[in-house]
Structure 1
Amino acid sequence: GCVALSNAWQPVKNNQTLRRCMEYAATFDLTMFVNAQDASLASGACVHEGAVATRLGLPSIPEAAETIAVVTHILLAEQTGIRLHFSQISSGISAKLIGEAQQRGLAVTADVAIHQLLLTEGNIDQYNSLSHCMPPLRSVSDRQSLRSALTAGTFQAITSDHRPHENAAKARPFVETEPGIAGIETLLPLSLRLVDEGVLSLPAMVKCLTAGPDSVLGQSSKGLMVGEKADVVVFGTENTWQLEAAALISSGKNTPFLGETMKGAVAATIQGGALKYEA
């Protein structure tokens, strides 16, 4: 049955309506997934409010667009007792607010997209539309704060935030391009960069891609228990390869990591005890 609900990137604008939704969700023990963004502050904009946006002359989204939404949802969650999950957090202040809510004992979880942990607003320089994403890439300070929050356990999951687009969607003037990065095929090697850079241990990284997401939905991770049907991904951590558009299976090749050397790759996928993929 249904285990969660969300309005994704179409936020509920009326807080009374939002509170009622939370009350109903709490009654049925559902988790509410939230993409935290104040629509009025983000309307018509496409990048983080900062020096890069000013230099490029691009309409920008202030950090407050996210933090205001985070605070609102946390306060209402505290009143209603709902389980609340924040998706694709991008700002350091938001991570701090979520961590404080968790310390108060609220049932609040969160995830962060892998590109937010590796890139910054500087990656949109030269109007690089492959780095146009939503929420926008933010400052170096924000990236460091997100990494620190990940290490501290504020984030239960790392996501690909996979949003594939055809080439034409990224070939227009920056403001008119579609936001999003195709990320599912690079999630593993990019997450392994966090291990190499000392942000996470290998077991902690694996947890953020497996048991962590399970815990958000209150599901018990099967792990490798004897007698359970095997849902297993076998991967190597040392093999290197070049990320080329032609090698991507996804019809969307829109990633700013094209041309970079990747380290680590999936060797096999087993689902329900059956081999589904082998490199």
Structure 2
Amino acid sequence: MRIPSTPSIAHQPLALVNGRLFDGETFSGAHGGVLILDGAILDLGPEIAPKNLPSHARVIDCGGDVIAPGLIDMRAFVGEPGAEHRETIATATAAAAAGGVTTILARPDTNPPVDEPAVVDFLLRRARDTGRVRLIPSAALTHGLRGEEIAEIGLLQQAGALAFSDGAESISNARVFRRVLSYARDFDALVIHYAEDRDLSAEGVMNEGEFASRLGLSGIPREAEAIMLDRDIRLVALTGARYHAALVTTTLSLEIIARAKAAGLPVTCAVSINHLTLNESDIGDYRTFLKLAPPLRHEDERRALVKALASGLIDIIVSDHNPQDVETKRLPFAEAENGAIGLETMLSAGLRLVNAGELSLQRLIGAMTLRPAEILGLPQGRLKIGAPADLIRFDPEEPYVVDPANLHSRCKNTPFDEARMEGRVKLTLVAGETAFEAE
């Protein structure tokens, strides 16, 4: 350890000691600590203990809690610009910090959409001025998210957009999407696409099947997702562009992703924490907070998604954070808006899978940290000397009950309302600075 010997507030080392180190690559519970200096990890391991630290170091005893990289969420709606009544960058990043999320990839389907460099610049400045965690803009693939005219991907990338998506919209025109992929390939840009055949999903409001019939609701077939995803993968093979499926929710989609990866195509995919931990039966008596897009699927599909995540076929977990206000959720199920908040509960919900023996803690953390960092080309998401000190401390066994009134998001449409959870985040650091600390 090489630590400046002269005490300085500006360069005071911070040490997290007496913890269990977990990441998605190297550490799976080793006892030790992390030493931080000037916003980066200076050293880590079992030798990071109070007896080995200089007197001027600030020391936090983690009491056996987990020390892990901060989570990276690749799908979240942050409200600004144009939907500040649903969420703002300030409230979204406060929720993220409380949930252990240190980097957010913001969706581009705002008002106006993120289809001009000026909007990218606005988001970066607002995040700098009001955000508690890192916020990275994703920009639109097409102007106005209309799926017709390709956006200026090169200029948007220069302005600071790290990925490109039309948010919750699918580009139905195959010719346009081929051109999008070809254009993105020339800039080595990541294309994130929400795969759904809108003609096939039509007026559906939940997963098609027996349960939808019993509730008297129109269904969305699994094929609506699979048909569009299969088309996308064929166009990726044609163009060679980097492609990320925003959300996969069915075994049909898993088969398509498996074939694409076996063929060596540059394809990755995500699953939302909701589809991993909930199923269509949880909708119960028309619970609109569980009306999502894509819809919650059958329990067999949920289990298949968990297995695919455990095997590495599914790359990452996202919150799919989508705040909706009371006026759009307190409606008959068919009329309510899609979406649920998730930044603050993503980790705790994921720990349900760990506690059930369906997933290892290391794999869960890797799917929320290292793998999204690799896909986005970020230096965060790992416990490694020289990496940014975006870190979290949490107790995976501490129980609590989700109280919407205590959540930091502006809207309270959580699918885990009054649910019993385990896994309380106690400390969130961004570049070594405290973004959240539990009281």
Shorter-chain TM-score range: over 0.9
**Does the C-alpha gap of structure 1 residues 14 and 227 become closer, same or farther in structure 2, counting only changes over 3 Å?**
closer
- Greater RCO, 1 or 2 (C-alpha within 8 Å, sep 6+): 2
2:328 is the counterpart of 1:174: no
2:183 is the counterpart of 1:183: no
2:206 and 2:219 map into 1 onto residues whose CA distance is 5
Contact preservation (8 Å) 2:347, 2:423: yes
**Does the C-alpha gap of structure 1 residues 2 and 255 become closer, same or farther in structure 2, counting only changes over 3 Å?**
closer
Number of the residue aligned with 1:248: 407
Number of the residue aligned with 2:351: 192
**AA paired with 1:199?**
E
Measured against aligned partners, the alpha-carbon deviations of 1:19-45 in whole angstroms (never above 9, x if no partner) come to: 011101111101110111001111222
Number of the residue aligned with 1:14: 173
Number of the residue aligned with 1:105: 264
Number of the residue aligned with 2:360: 201
Number of the residue aligned with 2:419: 260
Query: Aligned-pair distance for 1:120?
Result: 1.1
2:353 and 2:406 map into 1 onto residues whose CA distance is 23
Q: Residue 394 of structure 2: SS of its match in structure 1? A: strand
Q: Residue 126 of structure 1: SS of its match in structure 2? A: coil
1:256 and 1:27 map into 2 onto residues whose CA distance is 40
Say how many residue pairs are matched. Answer: 279
- With normalisation by structure 1, the TM-score equals 0.96
Number of the residue aligned with 2:295: 136
2:169 and 2:431 map into 1 onto residues whose CA distance is 35
2:379 and 2:255 map into 1 onto residues whose CA distance is 27
Number of the residue aligned with 1:96: 255
- Structure of greater Rg: 2
Q: CA RMSD in A?
A: 1.3
**AA paired with 2:242?**
R
Aligned partner of 1:161 among 290, 308, 320: 320
2:278 is the counterpart of 1:114: no
1:153 and 1:204 map into 2 onto residues whose CA distance is 9
1:146 and 1:26 map into 2 onto residues whose CA distance is 29
Query: Aligned-pair distance for 1:199?
Result: 2.1
2:196 is the counterpart of 1:37: yes
Query: Aligned-pair distance for 1:219?
Result: 3.1
Which shows bigger deviation, 230-239 or 220-229? Answer: 220-229
Q: Residue 199 of structure 1: SS of its match in structure 2? A: coil
2:381 and 2:272 map into 1 onto residues whose CA distance is 24
**Does the C-alpha gap of structure 1 residues 99 and 266 become closer, same or farther in structure 2, counting only changes over 3 Å?**
same
2:349 and 2:284 map into 1 onto residues whose CA distance is 21
**AA paired with 2:201?**
A
Q: Residue 285 of structure 2: SS of its match in structure 1? A: helix
2:219 is the counterpart of 1:60: yes
Instruction: Please list every run of 5 or more consecutive structure 2 residues that lacks an aligned counterpart in the other structure.
Output: 1-159
Query: Aligned-pair distance for 1:169?
Result: 1.6
**Does the C-alpha gap of structure 1 residues 119 and 60 become closer, same or farther in structure 2, counting only changes over 3 Å?**
same
Aligned partner of 1:2 among 146, 161, 164: 161
Number of the residue aligned with 1:213: 372
Q: Residue 40 of structure 1: SS of its match in structure 2? A: helix
Contact preservation (8 Å) 2:380, 2:388: no
Query: Aligned-pair distance for 1:227?
Result: 4.0
1:222 and 1:60 map into 2 onto residues whose CA distance is 38
**Does the C-alpha gap of structure 1 residues 194 and 222 become closer, same or farther in structure 2, counting only changes over 3 Å?**
closer
Moved over 4 A (4+): none
Q: Residue 90 of structure 1: SS of its match in structure 2? A: coil
1:157 and 1:199 map into 2 onto residues whose CA distance is 16
Aligned partner of 1:233 among 389, 392, 406: 392
**AA paired with 2:302?**
R
Contact preservation (8 Å) 1:156, 1:216: no
Q: Residue 252 of structure 1: SS of its match in structure 2? A: coil
Structure with a larger share of its residues in helix: 1
2:310 and 2:385 map into 1 onto residues whose CA distance is 30
Structure with a larger share of its residues in strand: 2
1:148 and 1:174 map into 2 onto residues whose CA distance is 30
Query: Aligned-pair distance for 1:220?
Result: 4.1
2:350 and 2:370 map into 1 onto residues whose CA distance is 15
**AA paired with 1:28?**
F
